[in-house]
């Protein structure tokens, strides 16, 4: 049985308390704890070693991974303390949602299979196979929709969407980008593209004007990302969907200067939180790509539906 006095000392640290609350619910790996807590591996490992020494945590090997869980013989008073602490710890609710996401990824065998397949896609030359061809094929399966491309830039993605959409409203805060994109659309005969100069946080689009709001690698340029997501919800028709493609949180500080990034990506929990706060339903957030070259940027896909 663990020492009550030693346990109380360990529980005084909020980070260790968060770890125990997670392990009380599920057996997880260090990597999954990193995703849930947005905390470094060495710091988590140190906390786990202390909790294990105090006989509050135990581990087991599963293939290449070591999984940690709350020790089955943990004293009842300590379990009661954990239950009471959950209501007082501000991060507990967010950790709970992050744990649900981590477990969803673990269980998604089909997605894991296609992630592996996608990692090989393009490594070997196959005549006629391309991401553009695949994207256009998938777009052809979509019904004609009113789409807003928010933070459209020069409009490469906009033009791809326009091949199938009823209309695409492309919004960008750069006058030069708007002028270039408009000229490019006109040159390519895409009359269903309408460029508008505007900001993500104050969109020049009416309430309920579009079926889909896309933010492709643009949210990390918003000063207030939550405001941008709220605006996206405003312009959607009831039942409309928001689609966000953006970088997973990273530590490549040079991106601020190189790419004018205001945010170094977002965690899955943060994107999930933006969508929930804005009132979206049927929310899904998942990683969809990891670059092979350093700094190994990862891309997250987040989707939500505006209530009908």
DSSP states of 100-136 as a string?
A: HHHHHHHH-HHHHHHHHHHHHTTTS--TT--HHHHHH
For the residues 271-275, what does the mean pLDDT come to? 96
Can you give the pLDDT at residue 285? 94
**Before 94, cis peptide (omega within 30)?**
no
Which of left, alpha, beta for 210 (phi over 0: left; psi -120 to 50: alpha)? beta
Task: Collapse the DSSP code of 159 into the 3-class scheme (helix H, G, I; strand E, B; otherwise coil) and give the result.
Answer: helix
Name the band, by pLDDT with cuts 50, 70 and 90, for residue 274.
Answer: very high
Tell me: the pLDDT tens digits for 188-214? 899 999 999 999 999 999 999 999 999
Over residues 289-304, mean pLDDT: 93
pLDDT of 78 > 90? The answer is no
Predicted local confidence at residue 129, as pLDDT: 62
Mean pLDDT of the chain, nearest integer: 86
What pLDDT sits at residue 123?
53
C-alpha to C-alpha distance for 113 and 261, rounded to whole angstroms: 32
The domains located in the chain, with CATH, are 4-91 (1.10.10.10), 110-305 (3.40.50.150)
| Top-confidence residue, 235 or 126 | 235
Residue 1 has pLDDT above 50, yes or no: no
More confident site: 105 or 112 = 105
How many helices (H) does the chain have, and how many strands (E)?
13, 10
Question: Positive or negative, the Cα torsion across 25, 30, 35, 38?
Answer: positive
Q: Is pTM beyond 0.85 here? A: no
- The Cβ of residue 100 has, within 10 Å, a number of other Cβ atoms equal to 15
- The C-alpha R_g of the chain, in whole angstroms, comes to 23
Average pLDDT on 272-285 reads: 96
């Amino acid at each position: 049985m663990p020492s009550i006095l030693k346990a109380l000392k360990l529980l005084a640290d909020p980070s260790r308390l968060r770890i125990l609350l997670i392990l009380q619910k599920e057996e997880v790996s260090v990597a999954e704890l990193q995703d849930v807590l947005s905390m470094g591996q060495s710091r988590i490992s140190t906390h786990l070693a202390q909790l294990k020494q105090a006989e509050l945590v135990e581990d087991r090997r599963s293939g290449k991974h070591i999984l940690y869980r709350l020790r089955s013989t943990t004293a009842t008073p300590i379990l009661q303390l954990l239950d009471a602490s959950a209501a007082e710890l501000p991060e507990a609710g967010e950790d709970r949602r992050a744990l649900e996401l981590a477990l969803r990824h673990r269980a998604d065998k089909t997605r894991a299979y296609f992630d592996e397949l996608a990692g090989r896609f393009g490594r070997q030359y196959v005549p006629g196979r391309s991401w553009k061809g695949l994207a256009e094929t998938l777009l052809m399966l979509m019904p004609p929709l009113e789409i807003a491309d928010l933070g459209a830039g020069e409009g490469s993605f906009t033009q791809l969407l326009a091949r199938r959409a009823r209309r695409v409203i492309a919004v960008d805060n750069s006058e030069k980008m708007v002028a270039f994109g408009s000229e490019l659309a006109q040159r390519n005969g895409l009359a269903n593209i309408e460029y508008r100069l505007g900001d993500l946080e104050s969109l020049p689009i009416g309430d309920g004007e579009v079926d889909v709001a896309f933010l492709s690698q643009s949210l990390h340029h918003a000063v207030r990302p939550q405001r941008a997501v709220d605006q996206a919800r405003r312009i959607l028709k009831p039942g409309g969907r928001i689609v966000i493609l953006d970088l997973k949180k990273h530590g490549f500080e040079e991106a601020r200067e190189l790419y004018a990034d205001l945010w170094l990506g977002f965690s899955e929990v943060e994107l999930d939180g933006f969508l929930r706060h804005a009132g979206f339903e049927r929310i899904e957030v998942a990683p969809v790509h990891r670059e092979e070259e350093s700094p190994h940027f990862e891309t997250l896909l987040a989707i939500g539906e505006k209530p009908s």
